[in-house]
Chain A
């Protein structure tokens, strides 16, 4: 019996060896095909071209999303790991920062040690100083006017950056500004050593290196850019999970949808609402989330404008069927309750409830002296398309039909997006707005930092060309409170002031708010792990490909 067992055991071992050998042989024969398949994530962007890759990206926040925060880092980053809360700032290339208690024009940033650029060179305080000169010192050999122009609107408070030691810098501001951490989150760190090796930004663009979670591989203008994971990224939690990412500019919405459905890409930005049912039927995942964006009418308060009367502005806010519009958009919108999306940190406690109540709206209009025979005449500049503009024309027509029910006579001045942004560079009491008697404009806005959300549109000192207060809001409350917020270095106290400002804006119906976009994206079923943050920026590092 014992012998028999031994024999069986020996046979089993032999069989085991034989099958292992057969497997090995098969593996050797199969060659590379037996190796794990490369996991490639291919993304269809809405941009018409690859965003600038040398540091400060162009193409608006899409450039930040798909080039900026992928190849590069900023001193302060955005925490994009949560879908249920608005994205907040978090340490990036700086681990800590504080205001000098004796000098409110001086911030100290402590840099992260051990961070390396993709070419292996160290990131130190010298790089931060060099990167400031890149965008602020026209005499510097590496000064880049395009990056300077792109950065100037993002870091307006910064006056000087000096090295204290290898891992500490001081940032001097023009005036006390509590928004410096937000501002530096938009300022990307290029690689000094690499630039000095190649000698020009044109050459740098051929092999750009940053400190970000993705490394540049290659780029074909207007066609695609390829990146691979930076396995040595300083934040081990954000080392990319796929083997390669390919970004393709596909500006045409239906071409993006076709590319996803035919398997040429795995992930597309902004599918059009009418394609959603088809995408869902094909098993694609539609991902949406609130993010700091608004689609609203910015009313002009210039002499003679009906919008000067708060009752008219309130009536307009009460006369919009936002649920109906959301339905028209295939559910891809959130009805506005104010300037900030509902639930935002700075939403505050306004008393004016923005809702659909046309009877109340007409009562307010009657009180303000308007009737069906004596309508409030408004002419609104709108675009045909554009960044963040959603579906501007059908949305405008919906809005127009709504407002005309409440004693308004709404006219459109339709412009191409580029023309509309040029138009908004002059205040509403100058230029084309006067010539064509335009007293409203629809330009969707990013509202993720205090300056973009509130200061640039409500502060009297931000009337163009110094900001985006096109509508000429001149109210001492905003001026005082927003100045206070900008010099309040305690974040909680700052949030409290901003919430008061927002509540005041809603109670004064400062704008006619309509909806917030939900930033739809369509993902092939094998794309897993994507968390859509409540932000204009997104993190591709957790994405896995599981076929």
Chain B
């Protein structure tokens, strides 16, 4: 097990390095000039050159990459060109904010997904199966930004029950676990939960339906085990695959949904990325992508380990 863990950790290193290279190159290959977000269009070449020198953008790209990597390795992601604030100070609170709705969305989505999937799996081929499968397919197919806009129109604009945007009514960006915070997070959480709900429901349904047809289930039943106990065996056997899917879904959610966070002006990494892209704020863009990619790598690692614990055959 320890060897397996070490091997997975070692795999993660080249992946992380590859991620840094890809995110650095992609950001620099894109059209546009990183300084044009802060310089008026008529800024003279002399001014552009001076600013480039100040931000180190006059260096050759490989050198810029190495300097950036060296600094990022010790936690210095540079300074945002657009705001002049340290990138880390921008990313850290945004990550926490994305985490809050991601966890909320994941919990709601996973819970509904497991319930719907299990019911559908048990009622394979019957109307209940068709109904919950339709719900799951709808969850996966409906564009969640569209759903977000519909939720805003219904609950904020028409009914005026819930706020349309932000994290607090006073524009705060810190989650203080107040009732107001929870009211603001409700719509984004619902909008975020539909895709994981659909994906998890479909996986759970397929797993449950397949496992119920297996010989060991007949054997358990013939031994006189109650349905609740049989279900525990089924759940344990379905867990590794469902967990892998959940891990990936949580990873996607943690990455912050650019669209959902933009629609709800939720101050997370998605909104930060969106703003950084439009402002061509390269240090912020690189820092945010890197942080998210590393979280994704770490989360995959975690899922692998948990899967190995649940199903020791994976280690072999």
Interface positions of A (Cβ within 8 A of B) = 48-49, 52, 58, 60, 145-146, 148-150, 152-154, 202, 205, 220-224, 246, 248, 250-252, 254-255, 258-259, 261-264, 415-419, 421-422, 424-425, 443, 456, 465-468
Q: How far is the CA of A422 from the CA of B38 in the complex (A)?
A: 12
Pairwise interchain contact A261-B43, C-beta atoms closer than 8 A: no
User: Does B22 interact with chain A (Cβ within 8 Å)?
Assistant: no
Interface residues of B in 225-278 (CB under 8 A from A): 262-265, 267, 271-272, 274-275, 278
Given contacts A224-B171, A262-B164, A416-B31, contact A255 B265 (CB under 8 A): yes
Pairwise interchain contact B164-A258, C-beta atoms closer than 8 A: yes
Pairwise interchain contact A422-B165, C-beta atoms closer than 8 A: no
B residues in contact with A224, CB < 8 Å: 170-171
Pairwise interchain contact B85-A264, C-beta atoms closer than 8 A: no
**Which residue of B37, B90, B172, B279 contacts A223 across the interface (Cβ within 8 Å)?**
B172
The stretch from B9-17, B119-127, B150-158, B190-198 touching chain A is B150-158
Pairwise interchain contact B173-A258, C-beta atoms closer than 8 A: no
25 A–B pairs (Cβ distance < 8 Å), ordered by A: A49-B83, A49-B275, A52-B84, A145-B54, A146-B38, A146-B84, A149-B47, A150-B38, A152-B47, A153-B40, A153-B44, A153-B47, A220-B173, A222-B275, A251-B275, A258-B164, A259-B165, A259-B265, A262-B160, A262-B163, A418-B278, A465-B45, A465-B48, A466-B44, A467-B42
Apart from the given pairs A255-B264, A418-B36, 20 other A-B contacts in the complex at a CB distance below 8 Å: A49-B83, A58-B38, A149-B47, A149-B50, A149-B51, A150-B38, A152-B43, A220-B172, A221-B85, A222-B173, A223-B166, A223-B171, A255-B164, A255-B263, A258-B153, A259-B164, A261-B164, A421-B32, A422-B31, A468-B42
B residues in contact with A246, CB < 8 Å: 171
User: Does B33 interact with chain A (Cβ within 8 Å)?
Assistant: yes
Give the distance to chain A from B158, nearest Cβ to Cβ, in Å. 9
Pairwise interchain contact B163-A264, C-beta atoms closer than 8 A: yes
Given contacts A146-B84, A258-B164, contact A425 B41 (CB under 8 A): yes
**Which residue of B41, B50, B82, B165 contacts A255 across the interface (Cβ within 8 Å)?**
B165
B residues in contact with A220, CB < 8 Å: 171-173
Q: Which residue of B lies closest to A263 (CB)?
A: B160
Pairwise interchain contact A145-B32, C-beta atoms closer than 8 A: no
Pairwise interchain contact A153-B152, C-beta atoms closer than 8 A: no
Pairwise interchain contact B267-A418, C-beta atoms closer than 8 A: no
Q: Mark B182-216, 1 if CB is under 8 A from A, else 0.
A: 00000000000000000000000000000000000
Interface residues of B in 1-59 (CB under 8 A from A): 31-33, 36-45, 47-48, 50-51, 54
Q: How far is the CA of A264 from the CA of B166 in the complex (A)?
A: 9
Pairwise interchain contact A49-B262, C-beta atoms closer than 8 A: no
Pairwise interchain contact A262-B157, C-beta atoms closer than 8 A: yes
A residues in contact with B271, CB < 8 Å: 222
Among B39, B45, B274: residue with most chain A CB under 10 A:
B39
Pairwise interchain contact A258-B43, C-beta atoms closer than 8 A: no
Interface residues of B in 39-95 (CB under 8 A from A): 39-45, 47-48, 50-51, 54, 82-85, 90
User: Does B169 interact with chain A (Cβ within 8 Å)?
Assistant: yes
A residues in contact with B115, CB < 8 Å: none
Among B44, B51, B153: residue with most chain A CB under 10 A:
B44
Q: How far is the CA of A164 from the CA of B274 in the complex (A)?
A: 49
A residues in contact with B42, CB < 8 Å: 153, 456, 467-468
B residues in contact with A254, CB < 8 Å: 149, 263
Pairwise interchain contact B164-A264, C-beta atoms closer than 8 A: yes
Pairwise interchain contact A258-B156, C-beta atoms closer than 8 A: yes
A residues in contact with B144, CB < 8 Å: none
Give the distance to chain B from A185, nearest Cβ to Cβ, in Å. 15
B residues in contact with A456, CB < 8 Å: 42
Pairwise interchain contact B40-A221, C-beta atoms closer than 8 A: no
Q: How far is the CA of A149 from the CA of B54 in the complex (A)?
A: 12
Give the distance to chain B from A534, nearest Cβ to Cβ, in Å. 22
Q: How far is the CA of A145 from the CA of B253 in the complex (A)?
A: 39
A residues in contact with B274, CB < 8 Å: 48, 251
Given contacts A254-B263, A263-B160, contact A48 B279 (CB under 8 A): yes
Give the distance to chain B from A392, nearest Cβ to Cβ, in Å. 15
Q: Which residue of A lies closest to B158 (CB)?
A: A261
Given contacts A251-B278, A259-B164, A264-B165, contact A422 B172 (CB under 8 A): no
A residues in contact with B33, CB < 8 Å: 418, 422, 425
**Which residue of B32, B153, B165 contacts A418 across the interface (Cβ within 8 Å)?**
B32
Give the distance to chain A from B194, nearest Cβ to Cβ, in Å. 19
Give the distance to chain A from B233, nearest Cβ to Cβ, in Å. 48
A residues in contact with B265, CB < 8 Å: 250, 252, 255, 259
Q: Which residue of A lies closest to B38 (CB)?
A: A58
A residues in contact with B51, CB < 8 Å: 145-146, 149
Give the distance to chain A from B197, nearest Cβ to Cβ, in Å. 24
Q: Which residue of A lies closest to B45 (CB)?
A: A465
Q: How far is the CA of A285 from the CA of B149 in the complex (A)?
A: 23
A residues in contact with B164, CB < 8 Å: 255, 258-259, 261-262, 264
**Which residue of A58, A221, A415 contacts B31 across the interface (Cβ within 8 Å)?**
A415
Pairwise interchain contact B82-A49, C-beta atoms closer than 8 A: yes
B residues in contact with A250, CB < 8 Å: 165, 265
Given contacts A258-B152, A264-B164, contact A202 B84 (CB under 8 A): yes
**Which residue of A48, A60, A419 contacts B275 across the interface (Cβ within 8 Å)?**
A48
Pairwise interchain contact A262-B156, C-beta atoms closer than 8 A: yes
Given contacts A150-B38, A152-B43, contact A264 B169 (CB under 8 A): yes
Pairwise interchain contact B84-A152, C-beta atoms closer than 8 A: no
B residues in contact with A154, CB < 8 Å: 40
B residues in contact with A416, CB < 8 Å: 31-32
**Which residue of B36, B43, B262, B267 contacts A222 across the interface (Cβ within 8 Å)?**
B267
Give the distance to chain B from A214, nearest Cβ to Cβ, in Å. 17
A residues in contact with B171, CB < 8 Å: 220, 223-224, 246, 248
Q: How far is the CA of A264 from the CA of B279 in the complex (A)?
A: 26
**Which residue of B90, B165, B167 contacts A258 across the interface (Cβ within 8 Å)?**
B165
Pairwise interchain contact B40-A150, C-beta atoms closer than 8 A: yes
Q: How far is the CA of A465 from the CA of B164 in the complex (A)?
A: 44
Q: How far is the CA of A246 from the CA of B50 in the complex (A)?
A: 35
B residues in contact with A261, CB < 8 Å: 156-157, 164
Among A202, A248, A254: residue with most chain B CB under 10 A:
A254
B residues in contact with A205, CB < 8 Å: 84
Q: How far is the CA of A222 from the CA of B269 in the complex (A)?
A: 12
**Which residue of A48, A149, A263, A264 contacts B43 across the interface (Cβ within 8 Å)?**
A149
Q: How far is the CA of A98 from the CA of B197 in the complex (A)?
A: 71
Q: Which 8 A-B pairs have the closest CB atoms?
A: A224-B171, A419-B31, A258-B164, A418-B32, A262-B156, A419-B32, A422-B33, A262-B164
Pairwise interchain contact B40-A60, C-beta atoms closer than 8 A: yes
A residues in contact with B173, CB < 8 Å: 220-223
Q: How far is the CA of A145 from the CA of B153 in the complex (A)?
A: 44
Give the distance to chain B from A174, nearest Cβ to Cβ, in Å. 13
Q: How far is the CA of A254 from the CA of B264 in the complex (A)?
A: 10
Pairwise interchain contact A255-B262, C-beta atoms closer than 8 A: yes
Q: How far is the CA of A222 from the CA of B90 in the complex (A)?
A: 10
Give the distance to chain A from B56, nearest Cβ to Cβ, in Å. 13
Among A254, A262, A416: residue with most chain B CB under 10 A:
A262
Give the distance to chain B from A24, nearest Cβ to Cβ, in Å. 33
Pairwise interchain contact B263-A152, C-beta atoms closer than 8 A: no
A residues in contact with B36, CB < 8 Å: 418, 421-422, 425
Give the distance to chain A from B187, nearest Cβ to Cβ, in Å. 10
A residues in contact with B43, CB < 8 Å: 149, 152-153
Give the distance to chain B from A444, nearest Cβ to Cβ, in Å. 11
A residues in contact with B153, CB < 8 Å: 258
Pairwise interchain contact B47-A421, C-beta atoms closer than 8 A: no
Q: How far is the CA of A151 from the CA of B33 in the complex (A)?
A: 19
Among A58, A221, A222, A465: residue with most chain B CB under 10 A:
A222
